Chain A
Amino acid sequence: MSADFLYGIEVVINGLMAGVMYALVALGFVLIFKASGIFNFAQGVMALFAALTLVGIMEGQIPFAHLINATFGTEIHHFGWHVPALLAIAMTVGVMVLFAWAVQRFLFRHLVGQEPIILFMATIGLAYFLEGVGDLMWGSDIKTLALGLPQGGARWIEDATAGLGGDDFYGFFIDKLDIVATGVAIVLVTGLILFSQYTKHGRAMRAVADDHQAALSVGISLNFIWILVWSLAGFVALVAGIMWGAKSGVQFSLSLIALKALPVLMLGGFTSIPGAIVGGLIIGVGEKLFEYLIGPMVGGATENWFAYVLALLFLVFRPQGLFGEKIIERV
């Protein structure tokens, strides 16, 4: 096999891995849209906020320290302790559940029955509000996520495959963090599917997703289900924030990862958990292969726009996305 062909395979493998990372972000959008019909513009900021909170708790940072110091003239920054990673993750999940409750209690409860565009606008406001709160709570500096996640290429894969295509082939590069992310995504999706299929609240969630009125008529609390769904989306956001934050440090540009999820949603559908995964994989492989094969001819940096071109192509032939529910309008 030629080195070029093998490098092409390497690009495909890395595209699949990148796709998993995109899918992790897209999953949060799907959960909320499926259950409530709200396109949550704040999902990327939720990933940022969750990751900021995790690092803040782990490092024993005092929330709103800058605000407190500016108001009272104090000089406090840290509690002086460090919280173990697992406990910090559990506490962050608690914060995200509290956030879900607050969103429901103070925002969407007052918008019941409003047009989808109003709800979408509300999530735009929520995104900017949450970004500001995150800044006030934890500061705007870049934070290192010290969870001990593996980084760097898997050397044993490189060594085992080096030379397959002659001296010009240096072995397959696969990032260890991407392998972990793939494992996490598999566990996450399996867990979400099992939860929605085999638990009482999961079935209630699906009932709400199918028909709000029918779910209400059999005694399901919409309020509770929406808090549950936003909490799950918050948990997914935390996972995405951890994986992306491990690459770049936890910083405010994390909120922009939502941009990578949009073509995934357009392609996979807004209502399908498997769709988010498959959509992510197709976008990941598609954009990486295009950059590899065509990028050098057009000056490179094609990935951002090509992902949307790919998604639009799918939209033309299947507007609801690959796995989305078929749109049937009664007349």
Chain B
Amino acid sequence: MKMKTLSTLALTGALTAGMAAADLVIPDLSYRTGPYAAGGTPFSDGYQDYFNLLNARDGGIGGEEVRILECETGYNTEKGVECYEATKGEGALIYQPLSTGITYQLIPKATVDEIPIHTMGYGRTSAANGEVFNWVFNYPANYWDAASVMINYLTEQNGGSLEGKTIALLYHNSAYGKEPIRTLETLSADMGFELTQIAVDHPGQEQKSQWLQIRRERPDYVLMWGWGVMNQVAVQEAANINYPMDQFIGNWWAGAEHDVTPAGAAADGYLSLNMNRIGDLPVFGEIETMVHEAGNAAGDGSNIGSVLYTRGMYAAMLAAEAIAKAQEIHGVSDVTAAMVRDGMEALEITSARMDELGMANIGPEFSVSCENHGGSGLGIVQQWNASSGTWTPLTDYIEPDNAVIDPLISEDSMAFAAENNIEPGCL
């Protein structure tokens, strides 16, 4: 009797383990608490809701259900690493760390563990060189692309030349905030504009000195690399000194609804970049009915359609497409992390596919290769309309200046390879 019970338990355990192993495990390193929760929550909602939609509508990806493992990081690097260690053993297929600090810590770990990392529009820019960073992908665009897209937009606004113009970079005094400096310095030397760098210490609650400096020096444009409270305070301070909002451009982490709403009407006209379009996409309707109304949504549904929700959903779509590609390449449905890496490296996002997914034109068309893990680098400029409470796209997708960025990526990634004894090459 005892033996029979034990055998039954062992069999049940084996079956359960077998079933769990067949799931496609996607960790979600979210931050719904702490000072950065306002940004982390909508992204995570969008990320999870899309996978929940795939489960509800398609039975998962390629017939395999997606199992989401949410782990709260609080946007704290140590907790992010703990989350990685706690979830990787579950058969994690892909990580979206959602923090440049966490990304830097996970790059060596994930490389050893052979689990791909997708750092969409953040993280280490030179990871775009897939020959050095085999397991890291930062498509569809990176920070250096963002800096170049901003400058290209301003160049066009100024009749093709920024010669003699003054541009201030207001940046979070961290690894993240300093990312665009190198690109902007190069572009400044090439294009003849004067660059002033103005650092803001974490968290950015007090920026009086920085905005008094901007008021004194009156730069033609202010570019911002901010996150969290730094964004809201900067927009308010810009309004306080009467700085023209249409000459103030935030990067894509400084262009969500909550970045501008605290300043009210004064934020009207503020510009920001976006790596993806927002708007009324058909997929939102499916999420409403098949996920939210079915009681399987990650949040309360209030974030659907917002900038960061849309970006989270876009990130999930890119992950799902990579998994599908991996299934296609390897001819199996229960893919491993290494297979997903192959899928990411062979990923091709076309307009037709985005239409098919109910996300027409959500992002640019792009393809990934071993040499280029960074995608196309395109970005749009959007403007805040305070009276309607919406972002309006001002431009189509703008190309970065790859002639400037590619040598910088090559230089930085090869230096990393030399420091870490990495022999560049494709897997």
B236 touches A256 (CB 8 A): no
A173 touches B233 (CB 8 A): no
A249 touches B216 (CB 8 A): no
Contacts of B295 in A (CB 8 A): 73
The segment from B5-13, B30-38, B53-61, B341-349 found at the interface with A is B30-38
Most chain A C-beta atoms within 10 Å of own C-beta, residue among B36, B199, B229: B229
Contacts of A80 in B (CB 8 A): none
* Distance in Å: Cβ of B391 to nearest Cβ of chain A: 16
Complex CA gap A257/B261 in Å reads 21
In the complex, the 5 A-B pairs of residues with the closest C-beta atoms, listed nearest first: A249-B262, A140-B37, A253-B35, A301-B199, A253-B229
* Distance in Å: Cβ of B284 to nearest Cβ of chain A: 18
Most chain B C-beta atoms within 10 Å of own C-beta, residue among A175, A244, A252, A292: A252
User: When the two chains form the complex, which single residue of A132, A140, A253, A292 contacts B228, counting CB atoms closer than 8 Å?
Assistant: A253
Interface residues of A (CB under 8 A from B): 7, 10-11, 14, 17-18, 21, 66, 69, 73, 77, 131-132, 135, 140-142, 144-145, 151-153, 170, 173, 175, 244, 247-249, 251-257, 260, 287-288, 291-292, 295, 299-301, 303-304
Contacts of A254 in B (CB 8 A): 205
Nearest neighbor of B258 in chain A, beta-carbon distance = A142
* Distance in Å: Cβ of A283 to nearest Cβ of chain B: 11
Within 8 A of A (CB), among B170-191: 173
Within 8 A of A (CB), among B252-276: 258, 261-264, 266
B176-218 toward A: CB 8 Å interface, digit per residue (1/0)?
0000000000000000000001111111011011101101100
Interface size on B, residues (CB 8 A): 42
Contacts of B36 in A (CB 8 A): 253
Answer yes or no: B157 CB below 8 A from chain A CBs.
no
A173 touches B239 (CB 8 A): no
- 19 A-B pairs with CB atoms under 8 Å apart are A21-B206, A73-B295, A131-B33, A135-B37, A140-B38, A141-B37, A142-B38, A142-B232, A142-B261, A170-B216, A175-B240, A247-B236, A249-B232, A249-B262, A251-B38, A253-B203, A260-B205, A292-B212, A304-B201
Nearest neighbor of B209 in chain A, beta-carbon distance = A291
Q: List 15 additional A-B contacts (Cβ < 8 Å) besides A152-B240, A175-B208, A300-B198.
A: A18-B206, A66-B300, A135-B37, A140-B38, A141-B38, A151-B263, A170-B216, A173-B212, A173-B241, A248-B233, A249-B262, A252-B34, A253-B203, A255-B35, A300-B197
Complex CA gap A175/B200 in Å reads 19
User: When the two chains form the complex, which single residue of B200, B210, B241 contacts A153, counting CB atoms closer than 8 Å?
Assistant: B241
